[in-house]
């Protein structure tokens, strides 16, 4: 097995810095190489508008009111009994909510919502300690999030870790109580994140993908949407200086290659035969393209082009539009979260065509009190779930999260 190596040095402060590669050997794609190489996003499309920033601020303010005393976020409306004792998917939704705060620039050390981020991070670390499976992040009564939740939680903790330490304090100064507390949290985060990464690596199937359950790691235990979630978690951890086995990344890259069909869509599992592109979803294809780009697979320009063309055909065929519509898009919030990332990564004319109407649609869906509502097909988890995903979409061009860097 190849040795585990730190792929990037840990970042100390969460700042909207210039492009930061996810892998140590990532090179920018060659200039003028088409859709995959055209990573320069188009001026006005990348501008954070006044309406966009106000929507983010209102959404974050509403989200803060939904956090329960223990630090988690509910997945059912309060009137339906949603609380930390019986809410399914709470691990995933708490992780997504944490990412929404971080993506808006609120970290463990700064911003009016630092306390919210701290409580959410402590909740996720406590969920990890509560499990019988070593290093697995899952709230004890959450039987649904599974490895999706673990992946989102690892991603959230890795992004939060960058905000726990500060390079601004003189080493000679007597540490304050707050400094000592954050240093302790940083140490616990470091241990917890590396453990979470190790669990992901132990759970990888021999074919390179991941399944719903921790530690499965068999030949046939794999599924596309779970795999994408673990890939982003590993990339975020590597961005923050954690040890990731390069061989695991290589196997994930090969898995994503094999998952893509000739039509440009992505299979739910490798065992699915090639067929009519109607069977391949918008959501999984968007996630697949993001994985290819995140894995620094620039030589697969043709595959990226096919994936983006598939998304455009789906949008034109299903919605007569360049963007997905919530009323008739399976897993609209989940799929759009990845679609916005894919278009932003690719940039150029595609991004300029896609983002302004998509942004306007997201803004129009926001309720006066700051939340978003709606279910992802049959997945109705209350209003925190669509609010977190909508905020994360609006935050992509802001680029506070390392996974949004190109």
Which domains can be identified in the chain, with CATH numbers?
A: 32-168+176-404 (1.50.10.20)
Q: In terms of pLDDT, which residue wins out, 330 or 286?
A: 286
CA distances from 351 to 44, 66, 305, 322, 335 (A): 11, 33, 13, 11, 16
pLDDT band of 185, cuts 50, 70, 90: very high
Span 370-379, average pLDDT: 90
Average pLDDT over residues 185-199: 97
**Of the given ranges (122-131, 204-213, 238-247, 312-321), which has the lowest mean pLDDT?**
312-321
The predicted pLDDT at position 204 comes to 95
Q: How confident is the model at residue 403 (pLDDT cuts 50, 70, 90)?
A: very high
Does the pLDDT at position 85 exceed 50?
no
Kindly tell me the sign of the dihedral angle through the C-alpha atoms of 190, 334, 372, 376: negative
**Residue 355 binned pLDDT confidence (cut-offs 50, 70, 90):** very high
* Average pLDDT for 111-137: 94
So what's the pLDDT on residue 9? 30
What is the pLDDT, as a whole number, of residue 100?
98
What's residue 171's pLDDT?
60
Give the pLDDT of residue 306. 94
Among 22-26, 83-87, 91-95, 369-373, name the one with the lowest average pLDDT.
22-26
10: pLDDT strictly greater than 60: no
Q: What is the DSSP string of 92-152?
A: HHHHHHHHHHHHTT--SSSSTTHHHHHHHHHHHHHHHHT-SSTT----TT--S-HHHHHHH
**Reported confidence tier of residue 199, pLDDT bands at 50, 70, 90:** very high
What are the structure tokens assigned to 306, written together?
């096919």
The residue to which tokens 């699915």 are assigned: 272
Q: Lowest-pLDDT range, 83-87, 289-293, 358-362?
A: 83-87
| Strongest mean pLDDT among 134-138, 320-324, 329-333 | 134-138
Q: Which of 40-49, 314-323, 372-381 has the highest mean predicted lDDT (pLDDT)? A: 372-381
CA distances from 402 to 69, 78, 288 (A): 29, 33, 18
Residue 240 pLDDT greater than 50, yes or no: yes
**Residue 154, burial from CB neighbour count under 10 angstroms (0-12, 13-18, 19+):** buried
> Region 62-79: what's the mean pLDDT?
84
Work out the average pLDDT over 192-197: 98
Range picked from 23-32, 198-207, 220-229, 372-381 for highest mean pLDDT:
198-207
Which pLDDT band holds residue 219 (cuts at 50, 70, 90)? Answer: low
The pTM score is: 0.86
The answer to whether residue 42 scores a pLDDT higher than 70 is no
Q: What is the pLDDT of residue 46?
A: 80
C-beta separation of 252 from 208 below 8 A: yes
Distance of alpha carbon 265 from alpha carbon 252, whole angstroms: 17
Task: Please name the residue that has the structure tokens 């590669």.
Answer: 21
Tell how strand 243-245 and strand 4-6 pair up: antiparallel
Q: Kindly tell me the number of DSSP H helices and DSSP E strands found in the chain.
A: 13, 2
Query: What tens digit of pLDDT does each residue of 270-323 get?
Result: 887 777 666 789 999 999 999 999 887 656 789 999 999 999 998 887 667 789
* pLDDT score at 298: 58
Query: Is residue 172 predicted with pLDDT exceeding 80?
Result: no
Tell me the β-bridge partners of 4: 245
Average pLDDT, the chain: 83
Please tell me the least confidently modeled range out of 222-226, 246-250, 347-351.
222-226
Helix (H, G, I), strand (E, B) or coil at 227: helix
Higher-pLDDT residue of 332, 40: 332
> What pLDDT is attached to residue 215?
80
Mean pLDDT of 203-222: 83
């Amino acid at each position: 097995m190849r040795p585990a190596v730190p792929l990037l040095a840990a970042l100390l402060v969460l700042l909207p810095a210039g492009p930061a590669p996810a892998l140590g050997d990532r090179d920018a794609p060659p200039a003028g190489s088409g859709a995959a190489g055209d990573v320069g996003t188009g001026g006005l499309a990348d501008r954070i508008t006044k309406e966009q920033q106000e929507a983010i601020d209102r959404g974050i303010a509403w989200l803060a009111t939904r956090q329960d005393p223990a630090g988690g976020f509910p997945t059912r409306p309060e009137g339906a009994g949603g609380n930390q004792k019986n809410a399914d998917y709470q691990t995933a939704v708490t992780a997504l909510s944490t990412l929404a705060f971080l993506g808006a620039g609120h970290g463990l050390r700064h911003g009016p919502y630092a306390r919210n981020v701290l409580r959410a991070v402590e909740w996720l670390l406590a969920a990890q300690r509560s499990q019988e499976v070593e290093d697995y992040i899952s709230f004890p009564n959450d039987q649904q999030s599974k490895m999706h939740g673990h992946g989102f939680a690892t991603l959230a903790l890795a992004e939060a870790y960058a905000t726990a330490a500060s390079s601004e304090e003189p080493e000679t100064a007597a540490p304050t109580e707050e400094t000592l507390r954050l240093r302790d949290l940083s140490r616990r985060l470091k241990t917890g994140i590396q453990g979470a990464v190790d669990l992901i690596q132990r759970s990888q199937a021999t074919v390179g993908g991941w399944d719903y359950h921790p530690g499965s790691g068999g030949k046939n235990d794999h599924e596309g949407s779970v795999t994408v979630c673990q890939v982003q978690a590993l990339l975020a951890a590597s961005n923050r200086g954690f040890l990731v086995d390069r061989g695991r990344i290589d196997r994930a890259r090969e898995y994503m290659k094999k998952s893509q069909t000739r039509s440009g869509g992505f299979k739910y599992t490798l065992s699915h035969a090639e067929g009519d592109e109607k069977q391949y979803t918008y959501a999984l294809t968007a996630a697949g393209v993001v994985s290819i780009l995140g894995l620094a697979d620039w030589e697969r320009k043709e595959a990226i082009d096919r994936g983006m063309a598939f998304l455009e055909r789906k949008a034109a065929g299903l919605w007569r539009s360049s963007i997905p519509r919530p009323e008739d898009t399976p897993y609209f919030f989940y799929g759009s979260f990845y679609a916005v990332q894919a278009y932003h990564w690719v940039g150029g004319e595609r991004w300029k065509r896609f983002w302004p109407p998509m942004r306007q649609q997201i803004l129009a869906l926001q309720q006066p009190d700051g939340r978003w509502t709606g279910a992802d097909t049959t997945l109705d988890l209350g209003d925190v779930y669509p609010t977190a995903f909508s905020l994360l979409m609006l935050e992509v061009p802001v680029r506070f999260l390392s996974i949004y860097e190109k």
